Amino acid sequence: GESVGLHLPTLSVQEGDNSIINCAYSNSASDYFIWYKQESGKGPQFIIDIRSNMDKRQGQRVTVLLNKTVKHLSLQIAATQPGDSAVYFCAEISPLGGGGNKLTFGTGTQLKVEL
């Protein structure tokens, strides 16, 4: 598997349970965040995003919560399925000179779904 899986915090959940993955960020000026999912051998895949003018956003089976006071994000996955097994990253988005956006990633959390 991906060597990026080493040294990662791991969350193990039973199939059908809800999962909560947490992320702390450091820059209080950050105003845009994205959660990515990375399966073994693949690139990160966009899950959901949130801007700082919101504290909650929902997608299909996923919810992101943003607490700006303590600089904390969480990703909630409802009714976790085996296909949800992956590494999950939060990323802060910041502007680059010339345009475009830089993603600053955390080290990730390995989610393991047990049958």
Partner 1 sequence: DAGITQSPRHKVTETGTPVTLRCHQTENHRYMYWYRQDPGHGLRLIHYSYGVKDTDKGEVSDGYSVSRSKTEDFLLTLESATSSQTSVYFCAISDTSGSVFGPGTRLLVL
Residues near partner 1, by CB under 8 A? 2-4, 6-7, 32, 34, 36, 41-46, 49, 89, 91, 93, 96-103, 105-108
Minimal distance, residue 80 CB to partner 1, in Å: 23
29/115 with CB nearer partner 1: 29
Nearer to partner 1 (CB atom), residue 83 or residue 99:
99
Query: Of 77 and 89, which CB lies nearer to partner 1 in the complex structure?
Result: 89
With vertex at residue 49, the alpha carbon angle to CA 79 and CA 99, rounded to the nearest 5 degrees, is 155
36-75 CB burial, b ≥16 within 10 A, e <16: bbbeeeeebeebbbbeeeeeeeeeeebbbbbeeeeeebeb
